[in-house]
Amino acid sequence: MTSVSSSSALVSSPLSAPPRERGFGVAVVALGVGGFAIGTGEFVIMGLLPEVARDLTISIPQAGHVISAYALGVVVGAPLLAVLAAHWPRRVLLVALMAMFAIGNIASAMAPGYLSLNVLRFVAGLPHGTYFGIAALVAASLAPPDRRASAVGLVMLGLTSATLVGVPIAAWLGQHLGWRAAFVLVGGIAAVACVLIRRGLPDLPAPQGASPLRELGALARPQVWLTLGIGAIGFGGMFAVFSYIKPTLTEVAGLSVDAVPLVLPLFGLGMVVGNVFGARLADRSLMGTIGGVLAWSAVVLGAVVFTSQHAVSAALNLFLVGTVVAIGPALQIRLMDVAGDAQALAAALNHSAFNMANALGAWLGGVTIAAGLGWTSTGWVGSLLALGGLAVFGASLWQQGRARAAG
């Protein structure tokens, strides 16, 4: 297995000049704007399903299929585009991916019906995972070796801050001018990101010898699969809780429907805080951060069962649930470290894993609610998924130890 030190060298090998000379700050801001566009486009539709259903004359559950279509696009597009474009120069690839996202969203705004909207949301989701994977590789390569996770966290800050700023603005626009206006806004932000990336990123070539076949070699590494498993299972708990947070707040905590939009930004704030501190902790202790955040997740998500009985405690715990996203930068760096010379595919697959976590968490939460266990049962589901991720993490440490002993 590739060691952390050697893989760190691989991450930084494309560049020999100091990060300051490469315009690190400008590059990360440009990449962050792209992440902001993607985050806004991914989450805004969740608050506009009634408008979509009314406009297309379908039910709200049918309108919810466009969320699944986008997630499916992420899962399919992340490995597919990362492999096919393995040899592309990084700046060219990132501009192309963001342009694809912009076109997909503007086209979504013009969808004439239910089927076409689902197809276009699938297309819009295709570049999502590959963009974040390649952006993370670029940011890490521009940063000092001991600040790689912080650099990745800065890119992810665009995604997490979208839940706090971009989504409310786009949702307001969608409610007043129609849901199509929200997608036009997302497409416009993505177009701006294309320009910023084109001007702000250095012209980085793909790693020497990069090819689709070499990228597929990542799938032969057990640690890649184990790390993806940590994300797909351990991160699912957050989605189990958040997918049903509105009825939990209104039916259990006693909040009025009008008060819910005032409370939900606490979740976005928690995501921003978790992302920043998680990245800094990962720079100090990568594996310690992964294990620690999983344990923290089990506690925070399990607490939903008890804190949801009162409005104030429910709101405070919602903020803490958002901090669970702290595991994101750490898992991204871990995948880079264990993927050897097939880092593009591994980094992109991280976001496929997160979308699988979304699907798994929401489904299991729905199962317990349908079984009559109540809205707060999602907290137990979330805690168990976090413990499941911790078990996979333990298996990863065990396999790593065996590999070192054998080597």
Q: What is the CATH number of domain 211-407?
A: 1.20.1250.20
Structure tokens, 120: 């276009």
Which is nearest to 236 in space by CA: 389, 73, 396? 389
Instruction: For residue 308, give the 3-state DSSP assignment.
Output: coil
How much is the pLDDT for 65?
80
Q: Where are the domains of the chain?
A: 18-209, 211-407
Distance from the first to the final alpha carbon of the chain: 8
Taking the alpha carbons of 286, 290, 291, 297 in that order, is the dihedral positive or negative?
positive
Which fold is adopted by the domain 18-209?
Growth Hormone; Chain: A; (1.20.1250)
Structure tokens, 343: 């880092």
Cα–Cα distance for residue pair 200/198, rounded to 1 Å: 6
Per the CB < 8 A criterion, the answer to whether 191 and 81 are in contact is no
**Residue listed under structure tokens 């709200």:** 60
- Strand segments, DSSP code E, in 222-301 are none
- Classify each residue of 351-385 as buried b or exposed e, where b means 16 or more C-beta atoms within 10 Å of its C-beta: bbbbbbbbbbbbebbeebbeeeeebbbbbbbbbbb
How much is the pLDDT for 209?
63
143, amino acid identity: A
Cα angle value 251/252/258 (rounded, 5°): 50
Q: What is the pLDDT of residues 168-216, one digit of tens each?
A: 888 788 878 888 998 999 999 999 999 999 998 888 887 776 667 777 7
Cα–Cα distance for residue pair 366/360, rounded to 1 Å: 10
Q: Cβ-count burial of 278 within 10 angstroms (0-12 exposed, 13-18 middle, 19+ buried)?
A: buried
Domains 18-209 and 211-407 in one fold = yes
How much is the pLDDT for 27?
86
List, run by run, the mean pLDDT of 10-residue segments along the chain (407 residues): 40 42 76 92 77 83 79 87 86 94 95 92 92 88 81 84 82 83 93 93 75 73 91 90 83 84 86 90 91 96 94 93 92 85 80 84 85 90 95 93 79
How much is the pLDDT for 258?
79
Give the Cβ contact number of residue 84 at 10 Å: 12
